[in-house]
Structure 1
Amino acid sequence: MSLAQRPTSVRELFRLSDRISFLYVERGVVNREANAITVATPKGVVHVPSAAIGCLLIGPGTSVTHQAMSLMAQSGMTSVWVGEAAVRYYAHGAPLTRSSRLVEAQAHLVSRPKDRLRVAREMYLRRFPGEAVGGLSMEQLRGREGARVRAAYKSESERTGVPWRRRQYNPEDFATGDAVNQALSAANHCLYGIVHTVIVSLACSPALGFVHNGTERAFVFDIADLYKTEMTVPVAFEVAAMANEDTELDIPAATRRLFRDRQHSGGLLGRCTRDVKELLLGPDEAASEPMGDVVMLWDERGASVAGGVNYDEVYEVPW
């Protein structure tokens, strides 16, 4: 491969919403062959079309070559370094879009309490449609959310026959949780990886949350919460039911496989992309594509002006 090979332009790539959500690699070597990512493990070598994957979850014991990282960056595949069983986040790679439109809207909304509360209410409505939340405070929203989540746990417990006591896990010792709590942790962290991919691919800030606050992944947790009662909670209880039948079941692996299938059939990448855009821009403006490779200059009168212009030649500047 020539080192001078032209990077793929944004317009030549797959839309994020059309990609496969994630690929988890553990104890392997990630390399590059032409325009494909190769993953070598003791079982063999797998070729992965780089532009068709949204996120590569890089687990323990994995080596990644410089050429592989270069291709992933060019094709907009987000790299997320995670812990064993994909239950910890360490770092992530570069965004797919080159526009700052969404992150500017995000910063504008999150820095204004009334707008921030409005977005938080809209997030609640997307999770639990049909409720009147127009006058609710954040405290009241949290109370309603807690009641609805408890009801979801109870419903899944009754559906699968898996006993449920409470959400309890030790971040430092994954194995101490019971089967359903282990599966919940594994499913949630897969969900966080996908959501994190969407957020950074759209060049939004993972740290600027509307409901969550004070962590570098506040917005990731905000968006992930939109899908938990629909996706990760049912998956976790189903895996726990499988574990009751098979005591040798690898719970994290089984959870990843089932969650992968469930989110694919549910079109999670497309939904997540649409939700982030609509929450930050509104449904009408979200339908348009963000600008790419366009540098604008801020103007105090409210409208941006074109970059790459010598304004000494455009305006008469008094010295």
Structure 2
Amino acid sequence: MLRKILLSTIAICCLYGCIKDAPLNPEADIETFTIDRSQLTSDVFIDQVNRKVMLYLKPDAFDKGVAPVLTLSAGASVTPASGDSIFFDNGNVPEYTVTSASGENKKTYLVEVVAIGEWKWAFEKWEINDKDKYQYLVENDGNLVWSSGNPGVALSGVPKNPEGYPLRATTDKYEGTYAAELLTMPGTALSNLVGIKLFAGSLFLGNFDSQSAFLEPLKATQFGQPYQGRPRSFTGWYKYAPGASYQDKAGNIIPGMHDSCAIYAVLYSGTTRLDATNIHTSDRIIATAKLPDGSGRGNFTRFDIPFTFLPGKIPRGDMMMAIVASSSKDGDTYRGAIGSRLVLDSLEITQ
């Protein structure tokens, strides 16, 4: 009996010692940011890479302010507190400071209200990510409405400079100073380990969820921004040069196969974004406008594609508009030709 008591005492002491000595959580993340859906035109997106919370608010919510409810990394604290109201008057950009349970780490998240006024883009303003050095598009009002696969490619060990990524600015433009250049590039030693032999250059309206980049890469591309009205056509300028050798997902060259680009717009219902797994198949799709021929174009070529509405579909209520472009149309399944190059300029959705 005495032996059992001694063993039990030792076990309890060991357990207490483990609990006592367990390090406090060093993470300082905002994991969820919840607002009443009646105040939103699209789901909230937390950009963990750039520490931004992207809000898509209805006008009344913007004018009156909102009271978000947050969940954080275990044991972390935040200022202002979860449930406190934040306001956007006089150009105010709210921010949240999260302190980890251990007290060792702090992160500051900016809250940005995203809105698209004129559905027309010249691709003139580019910035460089501080950490990974890829380029990304910024609107003149500072909004981030465009995204790409660059944040995902950054995880694969590419060189940390703008030339190491498949989307970047180019002075080979139709008008203005810059255009968007999309390149299909070879994979890296790290990406090859998970079966990714190439990266197609991509550009799309929406967000890239870096948290899903390796586990569910097709779901990481979240297409679309809130849209109102009835679109008439999708217009713009492009040039395209396919790479020399088309390859399958395993990297095998397929003789006689030629790469082609993809440029399309999709209008769909709801506020939750579609992604690369369902952007062509969802029953929420209302209308599409797709470039019919993605073969090579040596000079800048204009496209003016009318939207085709699906039978019985009417544009009304909450809707999203996706615009997607890729230097290899099969790039979402890691097929294409290394060296394929697409240049885009002066895109517009007309009504």
Q: Which one has a bigger Cα radius of gyration?
A: 2
The structure in which a higher percent of residues are strand is 2
TM range (shorter): under 0.3
The structure in which a higher percent of residues are helix is 1
Q: TM-score, normalised by structure 1?
A: 0.26
Q: TM-score, normalised by structure 2?
A: 0.25
